[in-house]
Amino acid sequence: MRPLPLSVTNYAHETLRHLVALPSVSAEGRALGETADAVRVLLEELGLKVELHPTAGAPVIYAEGGEGDKTLLFYNHYDVQPADPLELWHSDPFTLTEREGKLYGRGASDDKGELTSRLAALKWFQQEHGRIPFKVKFCIEGEEEVGSPHLEHYVEEHQDLLKADAVIWEAGGVDIADRPQVYCGLKGIVGLELRVKTAGYDLHSSYGAVVQNPLYRLSRAIASLRDDEGKVLVKGFSDKVRALTELEEETLGRIPDESPQLGKTFGVDKFMGGVSGKAFYQKLLAQPCININGIHGGYGGPGSKTVLPAEAFAKLDIRLVPDQEPQEILELMRAHLKEHGFDDVELVVAKFGERPARSSLASPWVQQAIEACREVYDQEPVVWPNFAGSGPMHPFTNVLGAPVVGLGVGYPGSKIHSPDEHIRIQDFELGIAVVKRAMEKFAGL
């Protein structure tokens, strides 16, 4: 990598220090307007035209600059996770603190570090090339850490304004072996609760001979949903699963097999179905799954209590792949329960949900981003057709119809969402450089 100009490095550190100092915790509704204003000023200083668009929640910052036929859009967010538990931080979460080549602070990685890397890349690009020979747009929301409740609606309403040929996603970085990663999609997610109530109040368990047990019914319902290897047994569930393209299959097969190391780290002897290598990544990335987040009902304290509980509940999330639709999946779940006689199991939809997204690996933009990575990191990047996690990518890939790539400044030890969140300065600089290089590729430079 070519070293960053000192002015860019200084700008990046100062900008990140400035942003981390603003405690924009969306879960607590803290400092969101103030932070949006600070980001607006930063964008304006880079020569962009900025608008703050109100939503039913925190405002979305929209910015544009440059000039040309093609458009590159950045998606980021200016809100952060709560800093609790404060006592586990080794320096103040809202004071960017450098220790041993790392920068600590809430949002240092997620997502103020990444937002800053794009601003710094833009600054560097303009220092070197003068004008930007394409349109650049920013869409920066303030509610990502509370599930982006208004983003999909916002993108739909502003699709003409946001129109783009390429999108850089909010987060990313290097993997456990310091290999750069490019990812092109995310799984979707649906959350729900299953509830069973069989009596007006808890009964003495001797009545278990004649009164139905809600935990038995819940167990039966859950056991009916999938098999031992995680295959979903709900009728029609996988009908809309889009087959992987040949290129996606090939790309999956080139992901370095970290399953043995993951197994060791997680304390897992064997993954479901005994998979490893390509089969592991296929199962992890390309197959939907039904996951049980929790079951609770009846006595759970020390010793015993001979009680027949009156009610019980389970919290579930379902991870979706293209082209599964959350609403359809919920209908299939309801139909499954009905068909299998679970009239006593109530399905309650949770307040979160995302559609799955996967960009075409064959698109020029994905190839340009991969090349930029290869050049900046001086090694072959690991390309993921999609990650196993979920996020609000669907409005960009499907409403705007633009290919999306995830790049960033994190590494697996960044402790995002946790105390001592940080980035390594080396990753920060590489993250700035890769965005600048991708912009150059996009411009044909």
Residue 244: CB minimum distance to a second copy, A: 15
Is 207 a binding residue for a second copy by CB under 8 A? The answer is yes
Residue 290: CB minimum distance to a second copy, A: 8
Stretch that binds a second copy, among 6-14, 137-145, 266-274, 354-362 (CB under 8 A): 266-274
| Residues between 415 and 444 with contacts to a second copy, criterion CB under 8 A | none
| Residues between 289 and 318 with contacts to a second copy, criterion CB under 8 A | 289-300, 303-310, 312-315, 317
Stretch that binds a second copy, among 8-16, 49-57, 121-129, 212-220 (CB under 8 A): 212-220
Compare residues 297 and 408 and give the one whose CB is closer to a second copy: 297
Q: What is the DSSP letter of 242?
A: P
- What is the rounded distance in angstroms from the CA atom of residue 334 to the CA atom of residue 343? 10
- What is the rounded distance in angstroms from the CA atom of residue 322 to the CA atom of residue 243? 9
Is 1 a binding residue for a second copy by CB under 8 A? The answer is no
Compare residues 187 and 394 and give the one whose CB is closer to a second copy: 187
Compare residues 127 and 212 and give the one whose CB is closer to a second copy: 212
H/E element, 77: strand 71-77
What is the CA angle 303-309-314, rounded to 5? 100
Is 215 a binding residue for a second copy by CB under 8 A? The answer is yes
- For residue 196, which of 304, 299, 291, 309 has the smallest C-alpha distance? 309
- What is the rounded distance in angstroms from the CA atom of residue 295 to the CA atom of residue 312? 7
CA 395 to chain centre: 14
Is 198 a binding residue for a second copy by CB under 8 A? The answer is yes
The CA–CA distances, whole Å, from 397 to 55, 331, 431 equal 21, 24, 23
Is 189 a binding residue for a second copy by CB under 8 A? The answer is yes
Phi-psi region at 133: left, alpha or beta (left = phi > 0; alpha = psi -120 to 50): alpha
The correct pick among 6, 56, 210, 243 for binding a second copy (CB under 8 A) is 210
Residue 292: CB minimum distance to a second copy, A: 4
Is 85 a binding residue for a second copy by CB under 8 A? The answer is no
Residue 89: CB minimum distance to a second copy, A: 21
HEC sequence for 20-58: HCCCCEHHHCCCHHHHHHHHHHHHHHCCCEEEEECCCCC
Task: Number of residues interacting with a second copy: please give it, by CB under 8 A.
Answer: 75
Residue 395: CB minimum distance to a second copy, A: 20
Which residues touch 210 (CB under 8 Å, ≥6 apart)?
none
- What is the rounded distance in angstroms from the CA atom of residue 427 to the CA atom of residue 380? 16
| Residues between 7 and 26 with contacts to a second copy, criterion CB under 8 A | none
Is 128 a binding residue for a second copy by CB under 8 A? The answer is no
| Residues between 316 and 335 with contacts to a second copy, criterion CB under 8 A | 317, 319
Is 389 a binding residue for a second copy by CB under 8 A? The answer is yes
